[in-house]
Amino acid sequence: MKLTERKIEKLATEHGRKDRLVFDDAQRGLAVRITASGGRTYLCQYTLHGHKWRVPLGSSSALSLSKAREAAAAIMGDVAKGRNPAVLRKEAVAAQRARRTRNRLTLRVLIGDWSRVHLASRRPSYAAEAVRALHYAFADHLDDAAEDLDRTAVVRALDALTRRRKRKDGDTGHKSKGAAMTGRTAAYGRAAFAWAVKRGALRGNPFADLPIAKSIAKRERVLGDTEIAEIWRAAGDAASPYGTIIRLLILTGQRRGEIAGMSWNEISEDLTTWTLPAERTKNGVAHSVPLSAPVCDLFRGMLPREAKEAKRALNDWRASGALVLPGAVGTPKRAEVSSRPVIRSDGGTGCNGAS
């Protein structure tokens, strides 16, 4: 049938059939598909390498018959040249979809998603430092597609980071510090991209097998007894709570952040044991620290001088989860209390003075 727009309007499906295909005698390959619901759509059908292919052209209400014939003629011309327009269209659509997805997944978005989803179970300080380090080192690439960050760009950015650290620290024995920063940043990037690859968001990891030292040299310098004694004395003159933090670092050997975030409900009632919950340890495992008599003395110095008041205050602080060193992590300080040790009814000053 030679199609006309009037004939197309009158076409209908046969009774009991969901659609009908009518070809145009004027243009080879052009057909109109009529559905039982009244829809009319142009398409081009052709045979290539023994297989039939169809390319939809558009609704008859939006596309004129003359335009549909022009489109069909162009498609049949490609087929005559050995091309497969149906496959080419699918590939073009897939490529466009990939470009949209890639452009949407910028490096900034990838880092944010990695931090929000994957690092949610890690220590907040680790997550914050990882995000900060990657933003700093790759500031020029944050709004580019993560897929476009290649190995060359990564190496260039990390080399620039090492040079910036050297200029900042000078050449006075701080070379290992710049190398450590570069190594950590590379490790953060490698972890973020590996996470994205496993989720199918990216195809490759430009941080894999970089020519950068994977390990950080261990420190060999340790403080001598005389130096520790000098620091201890100086800490006694430091403003609260920082002098106490220094002394607790010396006495317990624990990490700075763990000391600063210590709360009274982590300290046993007799002040002899400090139990860090899993969420506050680096390895995610609860950790108990035996406390020596000097630590007990420091704690007792924070309590009221009277034994009953000391016990009441300690119970209240334990119940509320109050910080042992308020002000160390941005919290308001407690009302000042006597720094004198608690005097028990038996005149002793042992670790059980608060109980």
Q: List the domain boundaries for the chain.
A: 5-98, 107-198, 226-354
Between CA 207 and CA 339 the distance in angstroms is: 53
Please give the pLDDT value at position 177. 56
Q: Tell me which amino acid residue 2 is.
A: K
Question: Does 73 score more than 50 pLDDT?
Answer: yes
Beta bridge partner(s), residue 130: none
Is 5-98 assigned to CATH 3.30.160.390?
A: yes
158 pLDDT band, cuts 50/70/90, is very high
Q: Residues 309, 314, 320, 325: is their CA dihedral positive or negative?
A: positive
Mean pLDDT to the nearest integer, 230-246: 88
What is the distance, to the nearest Å, from the Cα of residue 247 to the centroid of all Cα atoms in its chain? 35
Between CA 189 and CA 208 the distance in angstroms is: 9
∠ CA 167-173-179, rounded to 5°: 65
| pLDDT tens sequence across 101-151 | 666 789 999 999 999 999 988 888 889 999 999 999 999 999 888 988 999
**pTM (2 decimals)?**
0.45
Q: Hey, what long-range contacts does 123-132 have (CB within 8 A, 24 or more apart)?
A: 123/279, 123/280, 123/282, 125/257, 130/188, 130/191, 130/192
